[in-house]
Amino acid sequence: MWDGSDFTEKTLLVYTEPGLGDSIQFIRYIPLVKKLGGRVIVECNKSGLKLLFTTVAEIDKLFVIGEKLPDFDLQISLMSLPQILKTTRETIPAEIP
């Protein structure tokens, strides 16, 4: 399990959990994760999320559950990112285009 520390030169798997809305809500944390290290791969539990998540430039590779994953060094659920990154009300990622 990833603990939020630097993962330079490693691959981190971030996987979604049941709850389409939760996945859409928490994908905003990926840019913060990417700043802490190497390769970020995301495994989606719904095929529709893969298309939506292609808009997140910081994701190096997307997969749908059941597809063969490459080797990875660390893993974490998408919904765990706010806690791991010690999010406060003031630090919730909220870039508005």
71 touches 13 (CB < 8 A): no
Dist. CA 75–CA 15, nearest whole Å: 8
Per-residue pLDDT tens digits for 4-43: 999 999 999 999 998 889 999 999 999 999 999 899 999 9
Per-residue pLDDT tens digits for 4-14: 999 999 999 99
**What's the longest Cα–Cα distance across the chain?**
38
H or E element at residue 31: helix 30-34
Q: What is the domain range of residue 12?
A: 7-91
| Structural domains of the chain, count | 1
33 touches 58 (CB < 8 A): yes
Per-residue pLDDT tens digits for 45-63: 998 999 999 999 999 999 9
- Domain harbouring 57, CATH code: 3.40.50
Report yes or no on 77 lying in a domain: yes
Report yes or no on 2 lying in a domain: no
